[in-house]
Amino acid sequence: MNTTKIGWIGLGLMGSPMSQQLLKAGYPLTVYNRHKDKEAELKEQGANTALTPKELLQQTDVVIIMVTDDKAIREIFTGENGLLGADATDKIIINMSTVSPAINKEMAELCKQQGNHFLDAPVSGSVKQAETAQLVIMVGGEATVLEKVKSVLETIGKMVVNVGATGTGNAAKLAINTLLSFYTQGLAEAVILAKNNGIEPETLLNLLGNAAIANPYTKIKGDSIINNNFKAAFSLKNIVKDLQLSRDIGLNTPLGQAALKTFEDAQQQFGDEDLIAIYKYLDTSK
């Protein structure tokens, strides 16, 4: 039985399966989610619930956050009954959300003033990897703090790497997702080019799957194209958010600018679908 009391904020597509890994490993878990209906499944599996982030921090040793954007992070920390209002010290707060390096640095400083510790630890991987604890976790912050919670993070992911100071975890994640956007758009364009020249998507994807550039992502997103299944594992609107964050920290290269424009243009129609829905946006043959 693991005795470290874990608090979890954010029970979305990623947060729910990630937090369930902690329950499976025997950690005492208390969850908080703005929409209370999402807490029900975790309660059935043995989790406790807290009414506010403030209460959550006071009841636990480590708080992990998995939400969508900077606005949500600011509300969780500085809003009414937020984390920074808690009478609690020497706690460790881990932000696993993909947000700006700047807000991580800002919240880390406020946590330090409060007497608590902060790490930014976003993940590479999607829902399937969250469900199987195969996420790659990149951590920004003090190595001594990470060492105290590394075993917790290893319950969620297959690899935990300290990449540098506070904020570098998210900088690394934005670099990875920038490449992800290039690859997704490139895959879509390759399938469309082949199809427009009489080659069925299944045929091209079979070739790609056996070529030197074969990788699991091609298989997963290729199957989505073939099966016309664009249910979001990672939504198109979220890759727009991440590319905008990458732009804000210096992405101004040709592919970066092109990918941002393409995904931004597709967002109004396909934002709630998976990012491979860029295929539908670009496919003018339909």
Q: Tokens in use for 53? A: 């982030």
Q: Half-sphere exposure of residue 203, counting CA atoms within 13 Å on the CB side?
A: 8
Residue by residue, DSSP assigns 236-267 as HHHHHHHHHHHHHTT--SHHHHHHHHHHHHHH
Distance CA 111, CA 93 (A): 8
Q: Do 133 and 21 meet the contact criterion of CB atoms below 8 Å apart?
A: yes
Which tokens in the block code for residue 170? 């998210």
- At CA 219, angle to CA 10 and CA 239, rounded to 5? 40
Q: Are the beta carbons of 161 and 196 closer than 8 angstroms?
A: no
Token pair, residue 202, equals: 């299944």
E strands, 148-239, are 157-164
List the one residue out of 56, 1, 54 whose CA is nearest residue 28: 1
Q: Quick check: 137 and 123 in contact, CB under 8 A? A: yes
Q: For 240, phi and psi rounded to 5 degrees?
A: -60, -50
Give the containing element (helix H, strand E) for 120. Answer: strand 117-120
Predicted pLDDT of residue 2: 81
Residue with token string 């199987």: 132
CA 146 to chain centroid, in Å, comes to: 19
Between the alpha carbon of residue 65 and those of residues 5, 179, 277, the distances in Å are 14, 25, 28
For the question of whether the overall pTM of this predicted structure is more than 0.75, the answer is: yes
Question: Which residues in the chain land under pLDDT 50?
Answer: none
Structural contact between residues 158 and 138, judged by C-beta atoms closer than 8 angstroms: no
Distance CA 9, CA 68 (A): 11
Amino acid at 103: I
Backbone angles phi, psi at 26, to 5 degrees: 90, 10
Pick the closest to residue 149 from 276, 27, 54 (CA basis): 27
> Which residues are within 8 A (CB) of 152 and not within 5 positions of it... i.e. 6 or more apart?
4, 6, 22, 27, 62, 64
CB atoms within 10 A of CB 41: 14
Q: d(Cα 249, Cα 243) in Å, to the nearest integer?
A: 10
